[in-house]
Structure 1
Amino acid sequence: MGIVSKVRWKAVRPLRHRDYRLLWTGLAVALLGSGLWLVALAWQVIELGGGPVQLSVVTTAYSIGLVVCVLFGGIAADRLSQRSVIIAADTVRGAVLLVVAALALTGWLEIWHLAAGAVLIGAGEAFLIPAYTALVPRLLPQEELLAANGLEGTLRPLAQQATGPALGGLAIAALSPGVAILVAALTYFFSAACVVAMRVRPEPAEAPGESDEAAATGARAMLADLREGWTYVRETRWLLASLLFGTVFVLLILGPLEVLLPFAVRDQLGGGPKDFGLVLAAFGIGGAVGALLISSRSLPRRYLTVMTVMWGVGSLPFVLLGFATDLWVMAAGAAVVGATGSAAMVIWGTLLQRRVPDHLRGRIASLDFFVSLLLMPVSMALAGPAGSLFGVTAVFIVAGVGPAIICFVVIWFGRMPSDELANPLDHEEVDQEPVQDQVVGVDQEPVAAVADSVGASKRISSDA
């Protein structure tokens, strides 16, 4: 067996395990549903006579549900059965979309119904993501966790950002948004059924008498842990600069992508849901290709600079989305943004694994996730009114040029050139031993990756 074959086998090795295979299959189908929902939501708002402001309200509602519940989702993942939390979250998401689909198909649906449903969908994801993250290490040996993260990282853009939206566009063009929403609901029920079929061992029960003592000290310990994590971020310039840049990136990019892109497709291209789905598919395919390309090479010597420039300068094709009058131009711009954003996220995840101390890694990753989510509703809330006041083209220009300028300020503020030379990293150990199982660290966000954009760029890809 050649080295290439062995590497490929290692990449899919986690799928040998029945429980993980069920979990992964459920995730794949649910991500397709999320992609369907993303396109169906936008076109359902348009069919109801809504514009950018109304779509902004609905997507902001989703973000609020996610932000408000994410910390509670983490607590639930630690205190309850992760399997049960995932089943409940998928069931709730499926039930919500079932109601929305019924209202749409009977002609009773209104914008506020979509907003209410979006809040519950966001809340469901807030509970699902940490539970999923906590469950995967219980299903696989440590040496296979990195391969599992690779499987999931490739799956998200292909399923949620490419195939799902493309199928959603076709379903809406052939039938209606209500039918697409109904199919999305069924995918969540299928995911829940896959998790029900798992035979994962139960979590260790809490010892009697420990809960009261834990409750008394838990709040103080949690605050102390948060302070320690924040102190580390504040004292680590490259990390602080990267997190600050991430929040600005989310603010500038996510709203235009989620809220204004459907109207750019309609008004500039004269297109419909099929064209919108194809643009989102290009974004997802670009993301998958970018992640695979950067992962197949050694980490750049100037890894901090390359990462920041990929996020910043890589956003310039957003300008094309505001001017394009041809579908292929808009799709090409979306593909480049997806590729550079995903490549930067691969480097970012590697830095969290290799440069953040083990005892702080979870808190730093959580802080990254939370801070990114915090500005997601702001971006979505501002995008609609900004598009109405200044025009969609002007907003896309700001979204493309803004990060490209700011990234160089971030590189200077974070002292990145000197830091990356003082702390060299490379992947030589991976190149030298491509077949041997090694525990090289576990990605702290195996499911994220809008939007997670973007943080919320991981969540850029998340459903609205």
Structure 2
Amino acid sequence: MPALPRALRPLRRSAYRRLATALALSVLAEGLWTLAVVWQVVELGGGPTELSLVSGALALGVVVTALAGGVLADRVPQKRILAGVHTVLALSIGAVAALSAVGALGVPLLIVVAGVIGLSMGLFFPAYSALVPALVDDDELLAVNGLEGVVRPVLLQGAGPALAGALVAAISPAAALAATAVTCAAALVAVLALPARPLRRDLSGEVRGHPVAAVARDLVEGFRYVLTTRWLLVTLLFASLMILLVLGPLEVLVPFAIIERTGGGPGGHSLVLLAHGAGGAIASVLVSSLRLPRRYLTVMISMWTAACVPMVVFGLVDTLWPMVVAGFVVGGLFSAPQVIWGTLLQRRVPPALLGRVTSLDFFVSLAFMPVSMALAGPVSEVVGLTPVFLAAGLVPVVFGAAALLLGRLGPDELAHPLDATAPGDAPVSEPRAA
């Protein structure tokens, strides 16, 4: 039997195939929600401000539980966490779909449910990230992150929005929300099929005490690791500032740029998201099929910086196709370094800290996400779409240059090459990288 391509080798493992299935269904549900909620708000008579409130509530929920999610991921079997998350998502989104179908849904209730969804989602990523290295070998982590880098854009920006757009156009936003709930339920089935896995952290020698004190100790240990690890701290600070300027316009204002500047609707929105996903998928396949770059920190930050620049297109053009091209470029340049970043965390962060560090990555880099989403709509209504998109595209260039010039990342990335180990060797890991 011919050997599988490098990017597909983790799929040989049945446990990982089940986890990958659960991830794919979760991302598909997120893609369905992304478009369905926009047109649900529009159907309810809302505009950019109302969509900002809904998106901001979800983002705030994610941030609130991200830290707790990391502690739980290092203390509780991750399968239980993932099952609980998908149960809440299926029930809450199903309730929204039902209320929408009978005409009983309002924007305030949608904001509340979006917050509940965010609280659940904040627990998902740390548990998933902490479970992956327990299911595959170290030399397969790049391939795993490459597969994830394909799955996310294809389903999150491609298939999910396309299916939601078709359901909205043919039936109603309620139908797209119902499809989202069903997809979450299917993800729950996949999670329940996962084998039980022991924690990768030995808690037997831990000092006994009040659970709150134990949680506090865990958080302090995670924060200390981040603060004393320069490559991690610099990257997270850069990502936080970039997200503050970019995520709100990308998530909230792009559909209104399509509506106001091109006269488009759900179909045009789906097309831009599809291009974004296609760019991300192609870039992720390329990165996961090649050797990791020697200057991986420099490459990551440079690509994330360059990814912001095409955002100016949404504020300057009045036709759809340049927006589609911009979406493709943004998707590719955002997704490619994400493959490197996931592999970097899994190889250089000690396994016992991985859940907490992942949640801190999630928390710190997304701490400004609710602010960005909540401000995008109101600010655009005051100054207009064009200035907001110009700021989103150009100001992050300054942040990226500062991170590269002042962060002094070169010596660290040269001292800790990610491709230094051969398959089967121990991964590069250090308790502290100053």
**TM > 0.5 fold call:** yes
Question: Which residue matches 1:134?
Answer: 130
Q: Which moved more, 1:49-58 or 1:209-218?
A: 209-218
Contact 1:146 1:440 in 2 (8 A): no
* Alpha carbons of structure 1 residues 15 and 423: separation in structure 2 relative to 1, 3 Å: closer
Whichever residue aligns with residue 168 of structure 1, its letter is A
What's the secondary structure of 1:6's corresponding residue?
A: coil
Secondary structure of residue in 2 paired with 1:317:
helix
Where do 1:18-417 residues align within 5 Å?
A: 18-142=14-138, 144-200=140-196, 212-213=208-209, 215=211, 218-219=214-215, 221-222=217-218, 224-233=220-229, 236=230, 238-352=231-345, 363-416=356-409
Shift in CA distance, 437/116, structure 1 to aligned 2, threshold 3 Å: same
Deviations 1:200-220 (A, max 9, x none): 357799999989447486256
1:63-107 CA-partner distances (Å, limit 9, x unpaired)? 111111122223333443422222221111011111111111111
Distance 1:212 1:301 in 2: 44
Structure 1 counterpart SS, 2:45:
coil
Contact 1:143 1:439 in 2 (8 A): no
TM-score, L = length of structure 2: 0.88
Instruction: Give the match's secondary structure for 2:105.
Output: coil
Deviation at 1:141, TM superposition (A): 4.9
Q: Is the 8 A contact 2:126 2:356 kept in 1?
A: no
What is the deviation of 1:362?
5.7
1:244-295 Cα offsets, whole Å, 9 max, x none, are 2111100011000111111011111111112111111111111111222233
Amino acid at match of 1:419: P
Q: Is the 8 A contact 2:70 2:356 kept in 1?
A: no
Q: Does 1:419 align with 2:411?
A: yes
Distance 2:205 2:298 in 1: 51
1:6 equivalent in alignment to 2:3: yes
Q: How far apart are the structure 2 equivalents of 1:280 and 1:364? A: 30
User: 2-side partners of 1:216 and 1:179: how far apart?
Assistant: 43
Gaps of 5+ in 1: 431-435, 443-464
Separation of aligned partners in 2, 1:71 and 1:316: 31
Count residues with an aligned counterpart. Answer: 429
- Per-residue CA deviations over 1:105-154 (Å, capped at 9, x if unaligned) read 11111101211111111111122222223333444455544433332232
Distance 1:309 1:74, change over 3 A: closer
- CA separation of 1:181/1:439 partners in 2, compared to 1, >3 Å: closer, same or farther? farther
- CA contact 1:169–1:275 (8 Å) conserved in 2: no
What residue in structure 2 maps to residue 461 of structure 1?
A: none
Q: Following TM superposition, by how much is the alpha carbon of 1:381 offset from its aligned partner in structure 2, in angstroms?
A: 1.0
**Contact 1:14/1:147, CA 8 A, preserved across alignment:** yes
Asked if the contact 2:141–2:343 (Cα under 8 Å) also holds between the matched residues in 1, the reply is no
* CA distance in 2: counterparts of 1:337 and 1:384, whole angstroms: 21
Distance in 2 (alpha carbons) for counterparts of 1:244 and 1:182: 38
Runs of 5+ unmatched residues, structure 2? 430-434
Which deviations, in whole Å up to 9, do the C-alpha atoms of 1:14-49 show, x marking residues without a partner? 333333322322321222121111000011111111
Report matched runs for 1:420-439 at 5 Å. 423=415, 425=417, 427=419
Question: How high is the sequence identity, in percent, across the aligned residues?
Answer: 44
For residues 209-243 of structure 1, the C-alpha deviation after alignment (integer angstroms, 9 at most, x for no partner) is 9894474862563255145314414xx3x543322
Q: 1:320/1:342 Cα in 2 relative to 1: closer, same or farther (>3 Å)?
A: same
Assess if the C-alpha contact under 8 Å between 1:302 and 1:420 holds in 2: no
SS, match of residue 200 in structure 1: coil
SS at match of 1:316: helix
